[in-house]
């Protein structure tokens, strides 16, 4: 009987410890939140890339209508390098690297955004 009690207590202790550990981990992930690049095609999340660890690469995304945007990633930043849209506003947006920054291609319904925790700004007026 005494033994059983020990087991119950040990079990409960372990449970509590584990739950604390998990919640701590989750919280840490949320606050640290490394910079990531989110690529959206046709309004849907297409790909997420860890910007801090990203290697130099180019990704070509073709949308449902056959139009394309080329995303270039290097050194903690990203841009829309090329697009077949008529106004080229997205290409002109240039490099983005801070949380909250976006480059948008309205004609191709395509955009990239830098996400991550930042105490800098909540929105950018442009």
Rule CB under 8 A: is residue 22 a binding residue for another protein? Answer: no
Rule CB under 8 A: is residue 31 a binding residue for another protein? Answer: no
- Whether the CB-CB separation of 73 and 56 falls below 8 Å is answered with yes
Using DSSP's 3-state secondary structure scheme, residue 17 falls into: helix
Rule CB under 8 A: is residue 56 a binding residue for another protein? Answer: no
Rule CB under 8 A: is residue 124 a binding residue for another protein? Answer: yes
Rule CB under 8 A: is residue 126 a binding residue for another protein? Answer: yes
Q: Which of 13, 22, 25, 62 binds another protein (CB under 8 A)?
A: 13
Contacts of 9 (CB under 8 A, 6+ apart): none
Using DSSP's 3-state secondary structure scheme, residue 76 falls into: coil
């Amino acid at each position: 009987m005494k033994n059983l009690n020990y087991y119950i207590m040990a079990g409960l202790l372990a449970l509590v410890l584990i739950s604390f550990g998990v919640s701590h981990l989750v919280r840490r992930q949320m606050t640290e939140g490394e910079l990531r690049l989110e690529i959206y095609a046709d309004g849907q999340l297409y790909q997420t890339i860890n910007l801090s660890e990203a290697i130099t690469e180019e990704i070509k995304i073709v949308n449902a209508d056959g139009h394309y945007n080329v995303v270039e990633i290097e050194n903690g930043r990203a841009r829309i390098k090329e697009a077949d849209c008529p106004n080229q506003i997205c290409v002109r947006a240039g490099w983005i690297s801070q949380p909250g920054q976006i480059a948008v291609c309205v004609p191709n319904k395509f955009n990239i955004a830098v996400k991550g925790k930042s105490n800098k700004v909540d929105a950018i007026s442009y």
